[in-house]
Amino acid sequence: MEEQKNNPELKKIQAAVLKKMLDYIILTLLHGKSKYGYELIAEVKNTFKVTTGPSVIYPMLSKLEKNGLVTGIWNIINDHPRKIYSLTAKGEETLGDISDFLTQLVKVY
């Protein structure tokens, strides 16, 4: 198994999958806890070992907010304005639907 983790092709595929699934990953990370953008960036890095920056995360959050899947509310934290993101009911439902789809996809294997 360790040999597989060092496989460069696997790493390329993993990075591509994570990039395509970033909206799902963000919804998952917001499930049950509101967070601001830099928290999400840090969690993606720590959880998936993939570095994403503000230029990736914030447009994705804007798209999710526009589609009604998350809401963003500005707060002042330690004298800094930060937009705190939370899942909406539609976001929760969509997260469940995507999770069901992915479960079915994995069962095929």
6-51: pLDDT as tens digits: 788 888 888 888 888 999 999 999 999 999 999 999 999 898 877 8
Rounded Cα distance between 105 and 20, Å, is 15
The residue among 18 and 57 whose pLDDT is bigger is 57
At the topology level of CATH, where does 2-108 sit?
A: Arc Repressor Mutant, subunit A (1.10.10)
Segment 57-71 shows an average pLDDT of 96
**Rounded to 5°, angle at Cα 19 from 83 and 68:** 40
Q: Which amino acid is at 84?
A: I
Note the pTM of the prediction, 2 decimals: 0.83
**Is the predicted pLDDT of residue 101 greater than 90, yes or no?**
yes
Q: How many Cβ atoms sit within 10 Å of the Cβ of residue 91?
A: 22
